[in-house]
A and B are shown apart, each in its own frame.
Chain A
Amino acid sequence: MRSVAVVFVVYLVMIVAGLAYAITLGLQGH
């Protein structure tokens, strides 16, 4: 189950990073 938890975290990090970057970009007006 350890590797499953790692994949779970990788997915969440990937999603949060994408959202955070896009929102920052949009709010900064680039």
Chain B
Amino acid sequence: MPRWLKANGLSIAFGVIFIASLVGQAISGHTDFNHDQHIHHGDPISLWHYVTSAVFWVDVMENWQSEYLQFTLYIFVTVWLLQQGSNESKPPGDEGPETDEQQLLGKHTKAESPGWAKAGGLRTRIYSNSLLLVMGTIWLLSWFAQSVTGRVIFNAEQLDHQSSPVSWATYITTSDFWNRTLQNWQSEFLAVGSMAILTVYLRQRGSPESKPVGSPHSTTGAEG
């Protein structure tokens, strides 16, 4: 295996199955859409037309936003909240942003520390929260993308049934928007909560997502 592939195995493997799933979603979604058109005596559309339509993209975006919300929230909440015995939690006493010594900041920076970590002032403050800022921005933009593409579909259905189209501000108060949103959120929150509590008593040998197999149930955090 080439060195670059071994060094990036995790990101590349997930990137590949992401693309494969997206292609699968496009093909099955297109077939499903045309089946619906057929039973409602409508005209079928091409695969290209389908993947460049809001019908396809609203489904993509509603799933993106919930995933990025999940990670944004998890990154933020785990700074402050603990779960005793969990691999996903810091040990008791470490709540909050931690000391400069723990975070290798100020006089504790190393020669290889990132430039913005060594810079101090505003740059270090921004860099100290950069993961949360970027994940949060992606969440908000994908949620906005879900709202604008969702509105296109909603209004097309309104017109089909001789009803008036709605503005964006109205659409985001509709049950259609919140049903799409919350059906994704609930599953993310359950999965995250499960990871927090199941890693207290269950193990996966070799995974950094688990405590070492012989680690006591009471040990909190990977380094706890």
Contact = CB atoms under 8 A, between A and B. Distances in A.
A11 B11 contact: yes
Contacts, number: 58
A11 B52 contact: no
B53 interface: yes
A26 B138 contact: no
A30 B11 contact: no
With a 10 A CB-CB cut-off, give which of A14, A23, A27 has the most chain B CB atoms. A23
Given A19-B138, A21-B57, A22-B60, A7 B145 contact: no
A7 B13 CA distance: 11
A4 B10 CA distance: 11
A7 B152 contact: no
A23 B144 contact: yes
With a 10 A CB-CB cut-off, give which of A18, A19, A26 has the most chain B CB atoms. A26
B131 to A, nearest CB: 12
A19 to B, nearest CB: 5
B15 A23 contact: no
Interface in B146-163: 147-152, 155
A22 B56 CA distance: 9
Contacts of B147: 26
B61 interface: yes
B186 interface: no
A7 B149 CA distance: 29
Contact of A26 (B3, B4, B8, B145): B145
Given A3-B4, A26-B150, 11 more contacts: A3-B8, A15-B138, A19-B145, A22-B57, A22-B145, A23-B145, A25-B53, A25-B54, A25-B57, A27-B148, A30-B54
Interface of B: 3-4, 7-8, 11-12, 15, 52-54, 57-58, 60-61, 64, 138, 141-142, 144-145, 147-152, 155
